[in-house]
């Protein structure tokens, strides 16, 4: 693939009436390859943004589909590569290489003139790619019908997709481009400069960029800002549109055009004007307007006011969700790509926000009470073991399991350990809970459809403190989740301390694997040393003031792999729309390893698409890049 300019993205592309259709079609091709218009054939004069759009498709597709095979190549490069393959007798290999692409982006298609062999090869490639649902986007400086000597079969293939031209940017778009380029160059322009420069009839965006470079150079070299009055001199005396002397006929045409335009707008049906304005506003801000744009090609829709109002409300809600995600520190930015700019995917955006809020929810802190160095009623060996667990970089005794027939003794040690840790490691993440509260919280998460985010929240703690382990016997699903949590934290090197009123061997009806892991650490029985524990055993939890991000020093200097954290599937979905299938996957298959956490096989009600099943919101599914890490059974 040709080297991509990182600046040529959809975000830096200014959309106006002259390129709106091309931009919208290209965005759809990048987000959902092969599902709408295929092939897309764009044409325009040089310098109007064809190559920018092709690069933007490649950038966007790489974000939306990281595993996709994308080729962005000029026809000249395609011909050179084909010639080399033919010389080496590798014709079939060349054909197969392009036949394996998920997205083929081909620039300068006009050079197919006089290339019959290249046309034949491209024809076969296009037929193969379209037959398997892959995306093709082509660009040329002229429409297909004007490419001399173009094979009639290729012309038919091009015409069977979407052919769209990119016109000259009008005044408003030129001004928007000027401002965008100034922002990208960290240049400030005085009020009126962009508007004055935008009045000049540039033949393409490259010429506009050249003129803007003169302004930037003047400002940099002379250490001042150019004024609107200087634009005419910098442009070499060329007259701007609407400025200086114009002949009578030119003035007449301009006035006539303005009159006709005003007349058309004045007589435009109210419903059509409302829809058009809603579409224009949405697309200027980068939102997809496909939901209502189709109405412009038909008759007045019933309840059009409600339709437009809902569309505007959905756009406003997407803006709110984006701001809230930024405030929360969205841990899954890739999941937000595309979702936050498409009103049709509002349900997915809402689900993502719910999951992020759950994932970033802060754990409660322990209220006032004695620290480890202030505990007087517990035996020294137990206190020292707890001190080592919460203070030493690599504690020897981890997990630490403490028990006492009088359960408050064990809770007192656990509470003092937590207070010591949250004082000494304020930026680290600590979770304190009882088994009963853990189970209740799981039930809540399952009911709200955020089990994946709930699980990730627990899996990222640096110190886990759990008391009341004796009631594990009364749980089922919570016990299974507790086992997975234990394994996840063990892999990360996190610390764990458990408190109960009996040793692991006496806890009935729990998984032997879980029991063996408790016994694999240090198990201590503790008794009161001197005065009764009393209030020291109370563990009062206080809600944290704000969500805590994942700890930067979670492993006290040891790096944790980002891939060791599962991405909750429900964060990527809504009830109405499933994620796009994995690129290249066959029907019914997926290359994303999943592990079910106690649920049954998803039914048809969960929704299916080519590329694999997708669960409904009540299913708890883990995504884990390293499949071997999920083999929790010990092999004998």
Q: Give the per-residue pLDDT at 473.
A: 85
Kindly give the residue spans of alpha helices, DSSP state H, lying in 199-247: 205-222, 231-234
Q: What is the largest CA-CA distance in the chain?
A: 107
Q: Give the per-residue pLDDT at 162.
A: 87
**DSSP assignment letter at 240:** P
Q: Is 171-244 in the same CATH topology as 20-165? A: no
Q: Give the per-residue pLDDT at 166.
A: 87
The bridge status of strand 495-500 relative to strand 522-525 is unpaired
Asked which of 29-33, 323-327, 559-563 is least confident by mean pLDDT, the reply is: 559-563
**Omega prior to 36 cis, within 30 of 0:** no
Beta-strand (E) ranges in 95-228?
103-107, 135-140, 162-165
Gap between the Cα atoms of 47 and 107, Å rounded:
13
pLDDT digits (tens, 9 = 90+) for 85-115: 888 888 888 888 888 888 999 998 888 888 8
Q: Coil, strand, or helix at residue 402?
A: strand
pLDDT digits (tens, 9 = 90+) for 40-53: 999 988 888 888 99
The bridge status of strand 621-623 relative to strand 594-596 is antiparallel
Asked which of 4-8, 92-96, 163-167, 626-630 is least confident by mean pLDDT, the reply is: 626-630
The larger pLDDT score, comparing residue 635 to residue 444, is at: 444
Name the pLDDT band for 566 (thresholds 50, 70, 90). Answer: very low
pLDDT at residue 614 tops 70: no
CA dihedral (149, 151, 154, 158) positive or negative: positive
CATH code 1.10.8.60 for 171-244: yes
pLDDT at residue 549 tops 50: no
pLDDT at residue 408 tops 70: yes
Burial (Cβ within 10 Å: 0-12, 13-18, ≥19) of residue 329 = middle
Name the pLDDT band for 203 (thresholds 50, 70, 90). Answer: confident
Q: Which among 267-276, 285-294, 532-541, 559-568 has the top mean pLDDT? A: 285-294
Q: Which CATH architecture has domain 20-165?
A: 3-Layer(aba) Sandwich (3.40)
pLDDT digits (tens, 9 = 90+) for 56-87: 999 988 888 888 889 999 888 888 888 888 88
Q: Give the per-residue pLDDT at 612.
A: 34
**DSSP assignment letter at 501:** S
For the chain, percent of residues with pLDDT exceeding 90: 25
Name the pLDDT band for 238 (thresholds 50, 70, 90). Answer: low
Which 3-state string (H, E, C) describes 582-602? CCCCCCCCCCCCEEECCCCCC
| Superfamily of the domain at 365-561 | P-loop containing nucleotide triphosphate hydrolases (3.40.50.300)
Q: Give the per-residue pLDDT at 447.
A: 87
Asked which of 195-199, 331-335, 529-533, 612-616 is least confident by mean pLDDT, the reply is: 612-616
Are the beta carbons of 139 and 108 closer than 8 angstroms? yes
**Mean pLDDT value across the chain:** 77
pLDDT digits (tens, 9 = 90+) for 1-39: 556 788 888 888 888 778 888 888 888 888 888 887 888
Domains of the chain, by residue range, sit at: 20-165, 171-244, 256-359, 365-561, 566-636
The larger pLDDT score, comparing residue 33 to residue 561, is at: 33
**DSSP assignment letter at 89:** T
Nearby residues of 103 by Cβ (< 8 Å), 6 or more positions away = 29, 30, 33, 57, 58, 61, 68, 69, 70, 71, 134, 135, 136, 137
Residue 528, number of CB atoms within 10 A of its CB: 16
pLDDT at residue 298 tops 80: no
Q: Give the per-residue pLDDT at 243.
A: 47
What mean pLDDT comes out for the span 174-190? 83
Name the pLDDT band for 529 (thresholds 50, 70, 90). Answer: low
Tokens of 502: 């009996």
DSSP state letters, 280-328: HHHHHTT---HHHHGGGGSSPPTTHHHHHHHHHHHHHHHHHHHHHHHHH
For 51, the enclosing helix (H) or strand (E) is helix 50-64
Tokens of 103: 């997205």
For the chain, percent of residues with pLDDT exceeding 70: 77
Name the pLDDT band for 320 (thresholds 50, 70, 90). Answer: very high
First-last CA distance in the chain: 48
Answering whether pTM is above 0.85, one says no
Q: Which residues pair with 465 in a beta bridge?
A: 432, 497
Kindly give the residue spans of alpha helices, DSSP state H, lying in 329-459: 333-336, 346-359, 380-391, 407-424, 435-448, 451-459
């Amino acid at each position: 693939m040709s080297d991509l300019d990182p600046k040529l993205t959809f975000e830096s592309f200014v959309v106006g009436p002259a390129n709106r259709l091309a931009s919208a079609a290209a965005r759809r091709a990048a987000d959902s390859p092969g599902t709408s218009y295929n092939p897309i054939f764009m044409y325009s004069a040089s310098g109007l943004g064809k190559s920018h759009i092709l690069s933007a498709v490649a950038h966007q597709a790489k974000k939306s589909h990281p595993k996709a095979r994308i080729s962005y190549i000029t026809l000249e490069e395609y011909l050179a590569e084909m010639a080399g393959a033919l010389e080496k007798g590798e014709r079939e290999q060349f054909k197969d290489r392009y036949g394996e692409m998920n997205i083929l982006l081909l620039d300068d298609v006009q050079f197919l003139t006089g290339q019959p062999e290249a046309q034949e090869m491209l024809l076969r490639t296009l037929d193969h790619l379209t037959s398997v649902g892959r995306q093709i986007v082509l660009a040329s400086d002229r429409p297909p019908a004007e490419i001399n000597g173009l094979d009639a079969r290729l012309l038919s293939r091009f015409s069977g997709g979407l052919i769209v031209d990119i016109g000259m940017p009008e005044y408003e778009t030129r001004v928007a481009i000027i401002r965008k380029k100034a922002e990208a160059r960290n240049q400030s322009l005085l009020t009126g400069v962009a508007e004055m420069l935008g009045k000049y009839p540039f033949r393409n965006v490259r010429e506009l960029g050249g003129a803007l470079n003169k302004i930037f150079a003047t400002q940099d070299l002379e250490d001042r800002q150019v004024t609107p009055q200087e634009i005419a001199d910098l442009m070499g005396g060329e007259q701007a549109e609407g400025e200086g002397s114009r002949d009578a006929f030119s003035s007449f045409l301009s006035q006539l055009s303005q009159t006709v335009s005003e007349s058309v707008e004045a007589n435009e049906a109210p419903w059509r004007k409302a829809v058009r304005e809603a579409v224009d506003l949405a697309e200027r801000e980068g939102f997809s307007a496909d939901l209502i744009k189709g109405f412009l090609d038909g008759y007045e829709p019933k309840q059009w006011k409600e339709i437009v109002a809902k569309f505007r409300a959905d756009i406003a809600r997407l803006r709110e969700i984006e701001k809230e995600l930024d405030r929360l520190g969205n841990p899954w930015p890739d999941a937000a790509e595309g979702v936050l700019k498409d009103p049709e995917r509002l349900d997915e955006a809402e689900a993502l926000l719910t999951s992020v809020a759950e994932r970033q929810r802060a754990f409660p802190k322990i209220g006032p009470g004695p620290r480890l160095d202030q505990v007087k009623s517990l035996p020294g060996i137990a206190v020292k073991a707890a001190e080592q667990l919460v203070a030493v970089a690599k504690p020897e005794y981890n997990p630490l399991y403490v028990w006492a027939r009088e359960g408050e003794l064990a809770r007192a040690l656990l509470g003092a350990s937590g207070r010591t840790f949250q004082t000494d490691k304020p930026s680290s993440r600590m979770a304190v809970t009882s088994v009963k509260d853990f189970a209740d919280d799981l039930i809540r998460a399952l009911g709200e459809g955020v089990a994946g985010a709930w699980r990730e929240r627990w899996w990222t703690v640096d110190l886990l403190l759990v008391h009341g382990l004796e009631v594990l016997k009364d749980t089922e699903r919570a016990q299974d989740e507790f086992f997975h949590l234990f394994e996840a934290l063990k892999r990360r090197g996190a610390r764990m301390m458990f408190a109960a009123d009996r040793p692991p061997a006496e806890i009935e009806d729990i998984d032997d694997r879980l029991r063996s892991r408790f016994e694999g650490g240090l198990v201590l029985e503790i008794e009161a040393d001197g005065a009764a524990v009393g209030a020291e055993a109370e563990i009062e939890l206080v809600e944290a003031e704000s969500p805590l991000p994942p700890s930067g020093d979670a492993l006290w200097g040891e790096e944790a792999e980002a891939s060791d954290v599962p991405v909750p599937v429900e964060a990527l979905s809504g009830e109405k729309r499933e994620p796009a299938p994995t690129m290249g996957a066959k029907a019914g298959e997926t290359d994303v390893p999943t592990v079910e956490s106690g649920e049954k096989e998803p039914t048809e009600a969960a929704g299916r698409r080519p590329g694999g099943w997708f669960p409904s919101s009540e299913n708890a599914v883990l995504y884990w890049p390293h499949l071997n890490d999920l083999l929790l059974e010990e092999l004998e």
